[in-house]
Structure 1
Amino acid sequence: MILPKVSAPNLEPSMTNIFHLYPNQSWVSLGRADPEEELSLTFALRQQNLERLSELVQAVSDPNSPQYGKYLTLENVADLVRPSPLTLHTVQKWLLAAGAQKCHSVITQDFLTCWLSIRQAELLLPGAEFHHYVGGPTETHVVRSPRPYQLPQALAPHVDFVGGLHRFPPTSSLRQRPEPQVTGTVGLHLGVTPSVIRKRYNLTSQDVGSGTSNNSQACAQFLEQYFHDSDLAQFMRLFGGNFAHQASVTRVVGQQGRGRAGIEASLDVQYLMSAGANISTWVYSSPGRHEGQEPFLQWLMLLSNESALPHVHTVSYGDEEDSLSSAYIQRVNTELMKAAARGLTLLFASGDSGAGCWSVSGRHQFRPTFPASSPYVTTVGGTSFQEPFLITNEIVDYISGGGFSNVFPRPSYQVHVFMSSATSWNADLHCSICRFLLFSVYSLSPGTNH
């Protein structure tokens, strides 16, 4: 989309809405970026009718409602939440005055992604000062502003936040599972292969992927994580010989990177296509780290441009709630609500740190992850076999994530469950106890929760 030529906005000199960088000690500044270097910024435009959208989500999700199951189309959602003409016009004028080019929107028109030079971006967002940083486990290079930015007062009612300035790429949720604290000789572990999962949950070809053409599923890959077709084929040769399965991914949405196959992305695709065998599978890809430093936001923008897409999506990434700005977390939660209104089931990993306890001023507090803590997704934790050498009953795995959101209120349908099972609990429990408060229980492979 090329912005039309319109008169520049009359912006008041006073500023409002100050957005800060959250400190991250693992990233080192290499100095100021070249003023002529280009970067991509995402502008989250203020939406309309969010209370009405929330009501519709409750109605289509409640079995007792006459609207149950009558999900909205993407076009219905767009008609409901599309920014007002005033918002669209004001933001267009603001970006045009700054020299923004190559701007792209989505069907719902509530996001704009534009390319600007560093010089233009710093003029557009007073206070911002872009630096090159290096960090992360793979020594990744990114451009961020260590200083807060401000929005002109005239823009405050029209822009929720600007993405691409502050947040550093989160690390993958895949971690090495700690060795169990046991003594004595331990035998060979059974291993959680596709055959084990299919036997444990009785996933027969008659029940799963029995040829119905309208079944589909999807997973997402971020942070320079990619799957490779050749690895998938080899995996299926090794583990898929005793059940019917699809030979390849049906569709990749986004750009598939050319880097080496990532462990997490590979596991996600391989186990999804083994448990949900013979079902059409899509992969949503957000390559790189510079543009995709808001990975969930980028992924949700892809969903906002697809009218026909799988109804089940699984994502094994997350951030600690307290590492996210209020504007960002609330807006992403709205995007998850939009997906729920369309009947999309979004499965998110609960993490590998129990309830995520940490100490603040000598008091232990929960540290839940997001989007796992959103009321509009299904959060999935991990289990292990009670007898590790047999396919037996399962118990909660001791690294499986969980906890209660510190941002979002508990949904009404969960109140009675919580009150009956947690009357004696409080938020000042020791961290070793916190680990047993879980979102939900399920596991696909050892050492990582899906």
Structure 2
Amino acid sequence: MSTLRHRTSRPYDESEEAGPLREAMVRDLRDLGALDTDEVIAAFLAVPRHLFAKDEPLETVYAANTPLVTKKNSEGQAISSVSAAHIQATMLEQAEIKPGMRVLEIGSGGYNAALLAELVGDSGQVTSVDIDPDIVARAQQCLTAAGYDEVNVVLADAEGGVAEHAPYDRVIVTVGAWDIPPVWIEQLSTDGQIVVPFRFRGLTRSVAFGRQDARLVSRDYRLCGFVPMQGAGEHTERLIRLDGDDVVLRTDENGPFDEDLLRAALHGPKVERWSGVVFDQVDQLDLWLGTSIPVFGLLKATKAAIEKGPVGRSALLPVPTSVREGSFAYRMKRPIEGTDEFETGVYAHGPDAEALVEEYVELIRTWDREHRDGSRARIEVFSAGTPDDKLPHGRLVDKKHTRVVITWP
């Protein structure tokens, strides 16, 4: 059954170029595997994305993988955007939205709220909340121009949800969240779901959580990236600069790091080990490493630092890193001769490099033996007051509002 809203005419003039570009975007999203169900496909075909990014060229607006920045802070960092279409499609497919549902969207770009309005239909309701008055005003203006003025756009800190229109069948979070406030769960219906770009141990995944009494249990997760939360839910990562801004270790860990020893280790001898494991399914491998390594971070280096050495080329993108006092080890790759494939390996620095590199390589081999077949992690979110003996055994991540446990089959 189609969920498209019944509109006799569009409140805007469709350009000759926009329609074909929108259809091409949908084809690309299907080819990428981001779009699957007829209802979500129909919503993407119906909503004029270009009306939510009027200053961008149509070709950019309708590119499947391009986010559209709508506001930057004084330092030039993006603080609001219309997310890349493939991320929005992925999250809407995860959410399994049906006609008549009540949906809370956290983070207001406008376009995603319009897609939600198409999915819930005339019998449903969409509420979108944002802390930034400029973003709220812009979203409301764009929604009205595109014919979706029935969406409730609310100016508030989303940490408190929006009680006025609760309970919600779905909560869709469109900004990076380090924690899940209790109110989001309290305002969820008993069988409701939350889809959120959830950051734990420095890694972000779009996680579809189902509510089970007072806790959340993951149904699905996908690799993603979003602008961070503002307001009470904001949480910045710790940055350990090993070589100025050229080599930086990012971490969510609260424990002590001997930064001087780590800097010295970077410029000392390097230990190198190779695992014999083919380098692929990287998002799953990295999640396994991130939830298995005791003290975890992400190492990133500039091109100049890599050319200078000793950091490996894989660190151009953040690589999972194991830290122990004044030593650290991180994931690398190298070509396998005569093939198009790569082998996964580890570089380590510091006085405990030999032990650290062996432990890291064994983690890679364990993933290859036990989890390459597609077995996936289970992510459970409990309230902060849950005692240890009521938690499953796994990697525990304590946050302000919640205790998160990640387990593997």
TM-score (norm 2): 0.26
More helix by share: 2
- The higher relative CO (CA closer than 8 Å, separation ≥ 6) is in 1
More strand by share: 2
